[in-house]
Structure 1
Amino acid sequence: MAAPSSSATNIMLAIPEKKTVGVDLYRPLRNYIVFNYSEREAQNLEDDLETLKETRNNIERFSAADSLSTRRDLLQNYIKALTTVESRFPISPDKDHVNSVTFTWYDAFKNRNKASQKNVHLEKAAILFNLGAVHSQIGLACDRSTVEGRRQASHSFIAAAGAFAYLRDNASTKASIGNSTTVDVSMECAGMLERLMLAQAQECVFENTIAKGSTPGVCAKISRQAGLYYEEAVAALNVTPLNQHFDKTWISHIQLKATLFYAEACYRYSLELHEKEEIGEEIARINSGITALSEAKKSYPRGTSQQILDSINKLETKLNINLDRAMKENDRVYLLRVPPVNSLPPLPAFSLVKSMNMNDVLDASKVKMFSTLVPDNSAKALSRYTEMVDDVIRTQAEKLQQGSELARVHLKEMSLPDSILALEGHSVLPSALWEDVEAVQVSGGPAGLQGELQQLHDLRRVNHELVVQTEELLEKEATEDGQFRSQFGARWTRPQSNTLTKNLQDRLNGFAANLKQAADSDGKIDRSMRQHMALMAILDTRPIESALPSLGRPIMSLDANEDAVVGALKQSLRQLEALGAQRAGLEDMLKDMKTKDDILPKLMTSTGSYEDLFRKEITKYDNICEEISKNLQAQEQLLLHIQAQNSQFASTFNVEDYRASCEKCYKQIEGAIAKYREIKENINEGLKFYVTLQEAISNIKQQASDFAMTRSMQCREMVEDVQRQISGLGVQPPYYHQPPPQPGGSGGGGGGVGGGYLYPPQPTQQPGPGGPPGWHGPYNSGQGQQPYPGGGYYKQ
């Protein structure tokens, strides 16, 4: 159990590893996956099953040829794998569980004793024990003749203490259920081994302290703490179940180390007392150390390490020499009373070691093994935690939004920072009003209305010319027909033009009436624009803010503190802006924390209560929640401060009058926008009307043109027929024998040249009673119709 360090003055103890027997994990776990999930899932997890199988086999095949660091890493990986297996595979004698796996381990200190369990608890406890044992062996293998070697040895013993502490706190109790376990993995043994490893770590620190030449007082404190750790280990060894479990030489070793370091502390402390000339207490401390060593030498068993005995003898010699010197000096010089040993206070102690926290080292949450197997209880637990997180995020996000809205409303009520901008010559419009002005300016502004109105006049002129041209076409055709009718008299038998073109004439008359009334509407627009151009001119100001009134400084200043008032208010506003930026950052941080907050791996590897885990994990949001609360409290106080500062600012710069001027200007701009939109809308309606009307008139003009051309061709034919009749050579034309075709019928309608009378083509679709869309109203009749339904487009 004990092995000497090659160059150290005192040997230390290394813990032997537990031995095990082979166990097949591959087949039972694979069968469980197939039965509870699917064969395909088992195939997907084949690599994980093989890795687990290989790792367990390597644990079984440990030999002295293996490197200790390799062994340590193997044990750490396996304990994390076991934690993963425990969360996904219920290993127990239950028929619905993995019930064909039995773990068997032998006691490390009494190899004949063994224990077997059908669960992972004994397996985890044994692996943790072996991890601590390997760390102790690494510590013992370090070269303690050098400073670095002693430092490494101390670190390894600290790690060993951490492994045994983790065993005691997390696995010993579970492994001991049902009494089917061995003493070495019990809570009592794990606690004793933790104290022993801390004692050896502290001893390494003491050796380095001596090597560095530290003061006697410091060395005494460190030595005493090493002795206390050894004494705690001895106390644990002297009670059940450990008092009958360990070899006597092993127990004797620890007892002698406890005595040795107590006496060492007495010796170092007496040196410090000698320097302080406290000779009486020095003599008492030396006597106490000598007595302890003498008692220890009487009781050590055969087989005790000679190195420890040599150390005791050397220390005893030093104490006796110092005692003789101190007593002589006291008798000759100081003549101080030597206090009884039992009246002395305890020797001071100071620990420079503590058990390593193995939670991070053995954290299995990042292990990807069997990650696709998520039991229902873990999924439900994750959903519950997600709800908790969402509630925190939602509550805090609402607080942040309310804080920002509160700041915005308060600043708006105080007209900040607009008032300060106005003082600096940068007046601003309310955002909604500014957007309306921008829309007006983008569309051309009041200055552009004149061009649009001119376009309206041009379209009306074009429409009027089209009507005149169409009337001239029909009039020309009718004049020509009348001339031939006068010339040929009764022989000119075709229908008169005014009979055939009555419908076209009526429609042209309607268009003319529409145009006349539209001209009246155009005149209203023209007059309205001239009347309100001065009002709308403000909309052409660029930038529009230059049209706003300015906030000026007072003409007379009584105390000349205007700059200080403005500066203080601006500084507070900057602080408020900084708080707003901080809230934005906190909100982003909340979202980022939620995105990264994946506790499923921890849920899968947790062996305790889910609620305990939830309470622990949700605390990660406490800091940011506290920051949000501080931010909102700071803003609340700052807004009160700004309100007071703004009152002083308003009275200093007469802000009330400025606001009244601004409101008047806003109303002027709003009125200008309303009038601009009204005129713009009327012009657009007029343009739409004229474009639609132009299409209709062009259609009628085309019909009239086709009619005139066809009648002209018929006229020439009829003239030739009449002349032949007169000369006796002609024959009666075919159209004398045909009935005149009806408008819209198949007998020559549509304006074509045929054997019958020509009627002007009729439109396939007459405009409805309301006419084409647009403010100028119906264009098809003109019989008492107003061009602007509802009393006209122009708003008085």
Structure 2
Amino acid sequence: MASTFLAVPLKKTKEVDVTNSLKNFISSNISTIDNPEDCTHEIGEFNKLRNNAVCRNLDKNEGSLEILYRYYDQLDVMDTKMPFDETHVPQAFKWKSAFESSSLFNFKSSLTMVNGQFEKACVLFNIGAMQSQVACSQNLDQDNNLKTAVKYFQISSGTFNYLKDQYISNGKVQNESLTPDLSIECLSGLSALMLAQGQEIFLKKAKDDNKKPLILAKLAQQCADLYSEALKFMNSPNLKGFWEKDWIPTVTCKQSFLTALAQYFMMQEAKNEKKFGEELSRISYALDSLKQAQKQAPTSQYMNSILEKFYSDPDLLRAMEVAHQKSLKENDFIYHERILRPGELAPIQKAVIAKPIEPTFPLSGKTEFRDLFQKIVPIPVNQALVVYETRKSDLVNTNISKLRQATQNLNGFLVALNLPASLEDIVAPDLPGRAGSKAAKEFKKIPKSLLTKSNAIKKLGGMSACTLTMDNLPQLLSRNKEILIEAIRILDEEKASDIQLKTQFGARWVRTPSEKLQAPLREESRKYNQIIEAAIQADEIVKSKFEQHRNIMELLCGPETELAKSIPSSIGALSSDLPVIKELKELMEKVETIKAERQTIEFEFQHKTSDAQNSSDIINQKFMKVYSTQGKINEKDISDDILRKTFGELEQQALSSIRSQDDLMELIQVANMIFVQEKSKDPSFDAKRRDKFLQELASAYDTFMEICANLKEGSKFYNDLTPILLKFQNKCSDLCFARKTERDELIKDMQDNIVSQPAHSYVSPYGTDSGTNINIPKGPPRPPPPAFTGNPNPIQTSQAPNFYSGNFQPIQPQQANQLNMMPLMPSAYNPYMNYYQQQTYPVNYPYAPNPILPYPAMQTNFPSAPPSNQFPPLQQQHQQQPNQHNY
């Protein structure tokens, strides 16, 4: 039975391992997954699923369809989570044409693309093909098998039609070099062919049930028209010679045979209605069509197989001949009606029973399908989470920066008034006498507040710790610059290779140009370069400020005796019982209270994420619920509502603290004026020179603490930037590796096509070699290899394996130590963001406390960077181009 129908062959592919590419994408883009190793099992299951679905021989049964369904559904779900393309997971997929004989007629026999939609299209083609094979494998002697066959022919027709409309026609898979089996003409022809075969089964069932001749004629005519439509697409000039050798004869034979059946059944209807002229005309038409079908049959036994196994009437030709002779004799002797030509006969109405059934998703059913990556959220949800985190970080950083700036303004204000040091330069009330007394002469020269500041600096390590941190910044900067330079070098090499191949092959080189494909990465590298340049300027600001106050800061870090000697003497005496002094002391206590409250507010801002209301799981659930119900996320409204509930009270506290500072500073200003007037009443109390020096010391303390904070933020900034740049380098490497795989496959296909062409069909642009039309460029004879003497030299970075060479292997950590370079981590393209942007920070904090990624970038929670001494600087691998990049 199977020999009377045509089953579509499956497309073939080869195994791929997506482990590294998926892990790298997860680590760079999925903020809900802390460790990509947590997905190792799921990725392994995905690899196994693909290999079972498309890389091994499948039986022609519904179990094989379930495997294909599940793999396609998994790909469909991954489109929203981890799409396979150049900008997300750049994995190359190679698929061969379903019709292997097409290679004999110079059709493209295979195609490699870095495109998940291409993978889905090929899988969907195989689903339609397997549905046709399942239908053809049914034994049609039983009604249940008839239903199964007609169902899968209709579903196969709908699958090919859906593939044509949703993937090829709308440009999801758009490539000039697609294999012909994915062309619109081929898919349209296969869809019509499957529908014709399904209609033919309806015709068989109706004939077995002894339906009226008119019904059988209508069914047969519709079937013949479907075969005719399929034949029209199959005979398209673009597909000439593409099909297997027996396909065109089989479809042509079926079209003629079904036309004969339609006319034969219509002849019986005309006979019943006593339309003798029409009866003779139609039996003549039917007999001619049947004889034509016999001539068009692919084999001599094909027609016998159809008549005997399908229509249970092996003597149909004899029956038609007998009927024709009888009708002709009766008409000659009795009726004398004119025999109409086929074009003059009334067209037979068609009964459209078989219809394409387009697939419903998920193909394996909503209850049966299980997503392997359930814990990974869709990209729109992940992007919403990233944008929410960005909004939250911006809100937190902005409020903290306002508080720090207000505190800095308050400190500067107090330094200008020499407070609280000037309050401590008075004689305590329990000391007898006034100016000139022994107690006054023994008055301690270093104010208590100044001693507290000096001790605080010493606890932080003093100048030595500050200098050490500052000296480490250039090394951290150099490491990041070298990683970025190496990433750009990889892109430059790939681009140069693509330009060279485009020049060599011309119009035959049809893949996407590197310049266009690398544009997002180039823009990203420019952003990183701007970030590094801004960091260099911040380093210079910190260094300049450090040098400006170095001497006075060293004095604060020194022994108390040296500090006391350096402070100018000024002996005066004021009673601490004065109202203004008491008022100033109370105001200074309020200053300390405000500072303590701000530290608490800042701590709350930084640690509010531990609140259950603001946890990532709850935010994720909110976004997932909206996305699942609406298909989109209004991120701004949801984020604003959550942030208002989470940080609204803290923002009010921060605003209130800043406002209260303004009122406090006015009170301090007035009280200090009175205090200064009181001091000026005693001529022996000359504190101008001393006050000025104390102001310098207080200012030096504030500067030291500010520089320490800047250096800490700068070190953290560079260490946080390192893994980001390494991931960017991996993105470049993975893209170039995928392009290399695509390039190699394309070159191989072009070479195979050239070899398969007849000698006269290829004319080389370089001319011809003797005895052949294929040019073999000739060059000078190869010189002998140089003699080697002496000991082998240590390995050099210039001898490191080229990324584009065939024997490229990832550099291992132990090799990296020998090469004094950062190892390239083997992974896939990780497009975790489109660009990188710093937030606006106060000038006294030149570094961003945390790298902030703006919408629509994707943000990753990177682990804490190791100490800088664990990152040896990258050695320039291509010393012949040292000035290729300006950084």
Larger Rg: 1
TM superposition score category, shorter chain reference: 0.3 to 0.5
Higher helix share: 1
Q: What's the TM-score, normalizing by structure 2?
A: 0.40
| Greater relative CO (CA pairs within 8 A, separation 6+) | 2
Structure-1-length-normalised TM-score: 0.45
